[in-house]
Amino acid sequence: MVQACIRISVPPEKFKEVLQTFKALLDPIRREPGCLSCNCYLDAEADNSICFIEEWQGSDELNAHLRSVHFGVLAGAMKLFIKEPEIRFHTIASTAGAGAIKAARAR
């Protein structure tokens, strides 16, 4: 699995427009082949900041998405940001649920 994290700061006067654009992209991106999840979050510690997180089955699916019309819209919106967005790609080898917490705390 590959996770894409985009954290952005938006000028206050453009925040509503960018947030609406991102919200409109959620469902179309979720329908792309290989998309496991796609969510948009507001940063509780920074005004006018948004975190856009996508999870993909693998790098092939992520790369196809990066060439998609939907990502093109996202990239176009990035031109409105105050500063360069922070973009990170994480390769995840495994995941665990609440059982991992229980096991760690039992030691």
Domain count of the chain? 1
User: What is the pLDDT at residue 81?
Assistant: 76
The predicted model gives 65-92 an average pLDDT of 89
Domain of 52? 2-105
Closest CA to 43 of 61, 19, 79: 19
Average pLDDT taken over every residue of the chain: 92
**Beta partners for 91?**
2
Residue 73 sits in a domain whose CATH number is 3.30.70.100
DSSP 60: H
The predicted model gives 42-50 an average pLDDT of 91
Give the span between the Cα atoms of 54 and 37, in whole angstroms. 6
Q: Which two tokens mark 4?
A: 């894409």
